[in-house]
Amino acid sequence: MQSSPPTVPLPAQTMPDMRFPPFPEPRSSSGVSGGPIIALAALVAGAVALTVIAVLGGGWPDWWLPAGLALVTVVASVALWGGFVRPARRFAAAMARMAAEDRVDLVPRARIAEFDSIAVALYRFRRIRPGRRSARPRRRFPLATAPCLVAGLVLAWALPAAVATVGGVEARTDVVVRDAGANAAAEAADLHGALRGGLEAVERAAALPTGAAVADPATTAAQVLEEQPLFRSAAVVDASGRPVATAGAPAGAEFEVPPGGPRVVQANTAGSEPIVRASAPMWDGTSAVVAEFDPRALNAVIRGPGGHTRVVDEQRATVLDDSGYTAFAPLDDPALGALAAAAAGGPPVVDTPDEGRVAAAQRVAPPGTATDLGWVLVEDQGVVAAAFAGDGNRRASLVAIVAAAFVACGALLWTAVTVIAPARRLVRHAELLATGEPVAPLAPQRLDEIGTSVEATNRLAAVRTVSPKVVAAEVRGVRRPHVQTPRAVAGT
């Protein structure tokens, strides 16, 4: 009697779960090394920039700054690759072999706490005992140890470097006083130019005839607002100040056309913000164009590299301030008030009212001009800060220090989010699998080394839970209720 051919057994340990896609390979070009590479590149760039500044400039930075950063870079590369990148890559390779051969013993215990916990959980999941070497107790380190160590080294270098760069500047009082006066004069000239430019825009619009009468005042107001970005509203008004057409934001107060031709006026001395207007009579002799300046735009004009800059009116009340202010707050500093009073009636004034501080005052517009509002610009800053602002080498060095430290620490923080946090989620997932309870597959965050480990764990769990008879029938397209074993075949 002819016997049927033997049937090959289908052990559960080698049958893949057909519900899962093929095992993916890492698709990230850098993998877990992306963040460390960016951090090291930032440190190298900072060291190179400081070296270039030291070579081209004079006096600063001292050579210990780029040399210290170069040493930090070397230590960081050794720590990140030895304690972070290589262990993650070795663990991912072991997990991939485990998924391919279905052998948990291919995953060794590790000195990285997260990877060691995953390996122990997988041993418990398959109910196998690790070898003697793997069973030895090890001193374990969290995966975040190397990134935290590098971040600490970077900050330990950056903070003293920044303090030495800013605090070590040599403050020459005569140079600081000269520079403070020049800065105040430049900012006052910029503000005067802004007021004069707004008045000229209004004059041009008022001089354009549109016929025997002003036929299209709305277009005239809109053109003024479009031409000058310093304005927030514009209007054409009649002889009594009643608006005929407006454009932009609502007016802050009632219109009053000043006599005597085009000029800039301050329409209030109290309120939540100053109202500054430029007006010019129109060619018809009965109408006028009035435009209102935006105080925020004027504040931006005086915002320069100096210290605290403010503008006060004839009552010594604050109308503009580059650092936030309450409108029309009095200038309560007696030394600054004396400087403002002196500058209002004479030439610019620069003084050191007390030790460690320099102040300058400058009238914004010449007296008697169409843009003269009686405004005085007052600038106040520390002597050390002023000396630092005038030292280009120290400013460039500080930028290099802050940029290198910020980018490096930001890259390490990004690594913690994209690598360390998913590794810890995988630890919790593997420990749940080890309890024997049914657990849904864990979705990998990225297809890097940690993502490979996640997929390997999912595949291991799927192979363990799927019946080999059902899978074999699905593969062949038929359902077979019984699978013969070699012993059954021999009995035939």
Q: How confident is the model at residue 489 (pLDDT cuts 50, 70, 90)?
A: very low
Look at residues 90, 107, 116, 110 and name the one whose alpha carbon lies nearest to residue 31: 90
Q: Which residue has the higher pLDDT, 196 or 261?
A: 196
Whether a cis peptide bond, with omega within 30° of 0, leads into 61 is yes
Q: How high is the pLDDT of residue 488?
A: 37
pLDDT, the chain, mean: 82
Mean pLDDT throughout 353-380?
89
Mean pLDDT throughout 3-23?
42
Q: How confident is the model at residue 134 (pLDDT cuts 50, 70, 90)?
A: low
Q: How high is the pLDDT of residue 491?
A: 38
According to DSSP, the β-strands at 263-266 and 276-281 are antiparallel
Tokens of 273: 């913000």
Tokens of 52: 């270039």
Mean pLDDT throughout 363-377?
93
Mean pLDDT throughout 6-18?
41
Q: For residue 79, is pLDDT > 70?
A: yes
Q: What is the pTM of this model?
A: 0.63
- Give the model confidence (pLDDT) of 400-442 as tens digits: 999 999 999 999 999 999 999 999 999 999 999 999 888 888 8
What are 247's strand-pairing partners? 234
Query: What percent of the chain has pLDDT above 90?
Result: 47
Q: For residue 283, is pLDDT > 80?
A: no
Q: How high is the pLDDT of residue 282?
A: 85
Q: How confident is the model at residue 21 (pLDDT cuts 50, 70, 90)?
A: very low
Write down the H helix ranges in 263-372. 295-302, 334-344
Q: For residue 14, is pLDDT > 70?
A: no
Mean pLDDT throughout 201-211?
77
